[in-house]
Homo-oligomer: A and B are copies of this chain.
């Protein structure tokens, strides 16, 4: 889901925009600037403490929050362009691979759950899910799910699966052979329908006992180049 639209924005004076820009840059590099630094940034002289007026205005317009009588205690809520300024990212552990047919080779869990590789993602991509982990796809066995070799799949191990969810499932075929696929899951009168994402492919029908759900697919990422 893309972000909200912030086209309705209060106008910013030149000083206000300068202060916001300086704030954003400084905070990204570590911590909040003092009012004197901000004052300089706004072109208000070395100790022009008129900066409070500017800050008050920015508070009124909803861009920042200021804690009174505390040093460098300004919270940046939105950047000059009006977008929310958040510091919310999450590291998703990459726990293994999905290989053609084979059961997923889930990496050994060390004592530190974050010891291995991981991917940093913005909260906005993760849809509020918890218990997330990532698998790297090896080979082209998932092409019917529109997932290519090298793609990264983010899954949640949350247990409740609803009809229509895309899941990583292990299917035991009639010949006893196991295979793992990414499919849309439908539970319907006594059997399980696994529907490929590619509408040109046919669904698989099987008995519930043949299917083990590994997790629900939340996100697929394909980095190119």
- Report whether A31 and B89 are in contact in the complex, using a CB–CB cutoff of 8 Å: no
Tally of chain A residues near chain B (CB < 8 A): 73
- CB-nearest residue of chain B relative to A164? B225
Interface string of A89-123 (1 = CB under 8 A from B): 10100100000000000000010111111111110
Residues in chain B near residue A199, CB distance under 8 A: 140, 143
- Report whether B216 and A220 are in contact in the complex, using a CB–CB cutoff of 8 Å: no
Q: Which of B6, B91, B148 contacts A146 (CB 8 A)?
A: B148
Q: Is A178 an interface residue (CB 8 A)?
A: no
Q: Is A204 an interface residue (CB 8 A)?
A: no
Residues in chain B near residue A159, CB distance under 8 A: none
Residues in chain B near residue A28, CB distance under 8 A: 87-88
A31 and B32 in contact (CB under 8 A), knowing A143-B146, A221-B219, A223-B219?
yes
Interface string of A23-41 (1 = CB under 8 A from B): 0000111111010000000
Interface residues of A in 173-220 (CB under 8 A from B): 197-200, 216-220
A127 and B30 in contact (CB under 8 A), knowing A7-B115, A122-B120, A146-B147?
no
Min C-beta distance of A199 to chain B, whole Å: 7
A-side interface mostly: loop
- Report whether A114 and B83 are in contact in the complex, using a CB–CB cutoff of 8 Å: yes
Residues in chain B near residue A70, CB distance under 8 A: 34
Q: Could you show 12 A-B contacts with beta carbons less than 8 Å apart?
A: A2-B152, A3-B119, A3-B120, A6-B114, A9-B112, A28-B88, A81-B112, A86-B120, A140-B199, A146-B148, A146-B222, A221-B222
A73–B71 Cα gap in the complex (Å)? 10
- Report whether B225 and A222 are in contact in the complex, using a CB–CB cutoff of 8 Å: no
Residues in chain B near residue A7, CB distance under 8 A: 110, 112, 115-116
- Report whether B30 and A119 are in contact in the complex, using a CB–CB cutoff of 8 Å: no
A143–B3 Cα gap in the complex (Å)? 26
A18–B1 Cα gap in the complex (Å)? 35
